[in-house]
Each structure stands twice: as C-alpha cells, then as structure tokens.
Structure 1
C-alpha cells in the first residue's frame, strides 16, 4: 500500500467511528425520559395550616389556592390533583406519580377533613373526563337530511288505523 492509501484508510476509519459515536449519542438522547408535571398539590406545611372545624371554603382558597376540581354533589369538597407523566422516546407515556388532596366540607362550608392519596399508597386514582358525545358533530344539515332518506318507508306516511 502506498502512504496516501494508508492515510485515506485511517481517515475513513476515523469518520466511521465518529459517525457511529454520533448515532449512538443521538439514540441515547432520544431515549432519555421526559417528565411532564400537570396540576397542583399544596405542600404538607400549607395543609397543616388548615384546621378542621375552624377553616371554611374561603379561608382554604386564601391559604392554599383554588382547587383543581370541586365536588359535583352539593359542592362537598375541594380536590387538588398533580400527576407526573414520563415519556421515553416513542414509547407510550406512563404515569409515574399521581397525588390527590381532598378537603371535605360539611353543609355549612366548614372543613371536616383533609386527606392525601397517591399511587404509592396502593390506591389507584383513575382520572377520566366523561363527556357525552353528540353524533351530530361534523354533519351538516344537508348531510343529516340526506342520511335520513333511507329511514322512511311507505308505512310512515299511510295511517294504518283508518
């Protein structure tokens, strides 16, 4: 081999190694986890300031802020929810942490209790948004009218009792 060919061969090997290293680093970076935090849960120190039997809805909002959600029936409680969701590369996101603080009130609006729940307690807290969907979305008036043409028969227009 000539000296020029040896030098060119070394450059090619170095270029291949550099490319392989760059691809490896890119794969590692693509697979590193990305954590997203959603919601808000008050700190334990702030919750300690809430006294059952003394505090009211208004004083709770002043102390720890507005809740993420409140009770649907009779506004029975405030709920503060925080979730941490981890995404790795192209894999499906996974909830790694979920914490819920429930503050319950009696009929007069006084705090009756403060509870904290989480995934680590072995309690599953499914968070779902249930919404009744309408089959009318994405359908224009004309499309609805033409879609009903096959639903009518002669019996619909003739009075069978007469």
Structure 2
C-alpha cells in the first residue's frame, strides 16, 4: 500500500541541498588536486651511508669494495681504474619532463695493485642542463635562400678555376 507523501517531504530542503553540493564540490576539487601532484622517482644505486663511509683508502681493495657496495653502475674505460656508483632522485610535474632533485656520484679509484686510492663523493652541483638553441643548427658560411640554392650554380659549370681552365694545369 502506498502512502501519500507531502510535496515538502519529496523535495530536499535548501540546507540539505547546499550540504550535498558542498560535499560534491570538495570531492571534485580533491580529485583535481591529486592529478596535480608531482611524481617522485629514484634511479640508480641505493646507497647506504654507513657502507659508503666504511670504504677506506689504503685498507680496502676491489673485492672488499664489491662485497660492501655491490657491482658499480659503470667502470672507467680509460685512465686510472675507477668505479662509479650513481643515484638520482627525480620529480616530474604533471605533463612535464622529469627534473633531477638530488644526485649522488660515488667514485672509487684504485691504484695499480687494486687497492682503493681515493673515494670521492659529488652531488647535484655537477648536473648540467643543456638547452638547445632552436630547431636549426648554426653553421658557418652564407645564408642562401631557396632560389639561390636552386639556381646558384648556373654559369659556374666550366668557369675558369685556379688553373685558368686549361687541362693539366
């Protein structure tokens, strides 16, 4: 059996409507703001500061460094033997490119006998950002237009060169 409802009970009261509207607006704003959060990432070696500090020049060798820190990110191919451990922390804004927020480069050099000679640590100060000039690469020489490129050699074929155009000179 259906009970008749009054017209006022069928409608939402003004106060209830404003509360639902405000909650929906807050929910939509929260969803939009979560899309604007930056993405943080770690790339490379996970360095343990205690293990890094335990590497001592003159005490450790290649085997002990590998057992302590693990395999290096890469090794030097030329010059003094060196192992590099590289770690980079990046952040990326929405619709942007990742930018380095922190970087650690640990360089362990070895002497001729395979013992640790030096341990150097550098950071973000060594990062270089390159910004290309434009879509064109600057070159030496003249700037020629389309028609000059197309018709520039007319009359130049068979012209006298340094030898006066004589064969064998």
Q: Same fold (TM over 0.5)?
A: yes
- Report if the CA contact (8 A) 1:41-1:100 is conserved: no
How many angstroms apart in 2 are the aligned matches of 1:75 and 1:113?
A: 11
- Report if the CA contact (8 A) 2:57-2:115 is conserved: yes
1:112 aligns with 2:117: yes
| RMSD of aligned Cα (Å) | 2.6
How many angstroms apart in 1 are the aligned matches of 2:60 and 2:70?
A: 14
Aligned to 2:126: 124
The unaligned stretches of length 5 or more in structure 1 are 128-162
Q: Which has the higher helix share?
A: 1
Aligned length: 123
How many angstroms apart in 1 are the aligned matches of 2:97 and 2:103?
A: 17
Runs of 4+ in structure 1 deviating by more than 3 angstroms, as ranges, are 2-6, 8-16
TM-score scaled to structure 2, two decimals?
0.61
How many angstroms apart in 2 are the aligned matches of 1:34 and 1:8?
A: 43
Aligned to 2:95: 90
1:78 aligns with 2:64: no
- Report if the CA contact (8 A) 2:62-2:114 is conserved: yes
1:19 aligns with 2:24: yes
1:62 aligns with 2:67: yes
SS at match of 1:7: coil
- Report if the CA contact (8 A) 2:80-2:109 is conserved: no
The unaligned stretches of length 5 or more in structure 2 are 1-6, 130-169
Rg larger for: 2
